[in-house]
Structure 1
């Protein structure tokens, strides 16, 4: 099975081109391929397919084999791959994931893809749609106590659920390994949640770390960066454009503050390596 390893700000996935080959038992394959000791090693698996409602489709699995609705870093890498592969000669096209269609614009330097800008759609703030259990219609800067610590939490869906907490200390010093799993598995979130812990640097800069459901800490999360930028704008901390400093790199996020307006994400998409792996062989490993 031929594969491509790509990363966006260090958020790495194994990509399978299903326009050229097929893969059975996708969820199991995601677990095996993502394993960093017995497989290729990645935050998850993304399959590239022909779209039905869009030009292309990405089918994404977390490292634990669970399906994921959207990945901002992943969709940028899919966009670069299909362009570099020659599946499209246009710098603007669409990619769908679990029925949601995203508009892509490549930032080109000659024939080279320098960055990818994605229309991530409008943020969803209604608690029932995130989903998060709440007595209010929206959860914006709302107090919550998790693991014996008080936080102010803003909940946003960017196609997948996010809980954003702004903290006083640097995210580098925050006990993410302790609090991340507590938020992910909290009964407040029927579908679990991705948790972002962020510090405001200025009205144009934020630093953050993310705990992704089904994976754990990742070096970056595109939808998490979008959710964090939305939360910061709603809380009055930032303006319409902000740079998010993640562990693996920077993403530029744009949102004008109106609920019906899309969030735009711009960032890199890079190749790590390509290879060929015996899927049947790694399926035999008890992992």
Structure 2
């Protein structure tokens, strides 16, 4: 017997997600999620998101990496989940939702049918580790940020994989971001934990890179260019923590369909 489930696919600057609305018939194993996210034999995505009703907010978002396991906060995923909830009529253009790392405020600031600009409030950051050539911090997900001279020609997969699995850096693994800094503009590429590959964009990574740039050179507003598009990060720094962190960028609806889940 099989189950047929309706889904929509969205991307935030090329960071793409399969999104489902929670329903009684929705029960996905890690193998199911891996198969759905497979770009050759499935729908293909960096991750999978399920949204459901919440007693604390407009909705609750649960994010799964392409490896089939539940992940931590996903910034672009949160923005895509908001677009999906908006399409269902669950939210107006501003709302609060529940995620892995707590509550988030979201605002749809531009709606051009299936293309949006969405602003997402991120969690405060009050701890970080500055080393000789990198910064470690958590923006809802753990990130390693290092400066490079030429991000275009950086061996992101090879270097990123080595750092991601380096137990001396983190026993749980980190997302790895390579950043080329030009004033308040950053060029960046990311090796993403759980996807285990380079992704076209990473919202929590963009946020981490902007905060790292602020720690290195000062500033409270940054434009970050990733292979999939441009995102913006703004925040306030009190001297001891980064707060009022806002991630802004594009979201697009890609397609919808029905998928068969063998049981």
Matched, 1:244 2:224: yes
Counterpart position of 1:6? 10
Counterpart position of 1:267? 249
C-alpha contact 1:53 1:99 (8 A) present in aligned 2: no
Offset of residue 97 of structure 1: 1.4
SS at match of 2:63: strand
Counterpart position of 2:129? 139
Report which of the two has the higher share of strand.
Answer: 2
Mapped to 2, the partners of 1:178 and 1:114 lie a distance apart of 34
Counterpart position of 2:198? 217
SS at match of 1:38: coil
Residues 158-190 of structure 1 show CA distances to partners (whole Å, capped at 9, x for unaligned) of: 111000001112x11001111111111110212
Structure 1: segments with no counterpart, 5+ residues = 126-137, 144-151
Mapped to 2, the partners of 1:45 and 1:21 lie a distance apart of 18
Residues 119-138 of structure 1 show CA distances to partners (whole Å, capped at 9, x for unaligned) of: 1021242xxxxxxxxxxxx4
Counterpart position of 1:176? 156
Q: CA RMSD in A?
A: 1.8
Offset of residue 46 of structure 1: 0.7
Structure 1 moving runs of 4+ over 3 Å = 108-114
TM-score computed with the length of structure 2 as normaliser: 0.91
Mapped to 1, the partners of 2:84 and 2:40 lie a distance apart of 26
Structure 2: segments with no counterpart, 5+ residues = none
SS at match of 2:243: coil
Offset of residue 108 of structure 1: 3.4
Matched, 1:196 2:177: yes
Q: Output aligned runs, 1:111-130, within 5 Å.
A: 114-125=116-127
Q: Output aligned runs, 1:91-130, within 5 Å.
A: 91-98=93-100, 100-109=102-111, 114-125=116-127
TM-score computed with the length of structure 1 as normaliser: 0.84
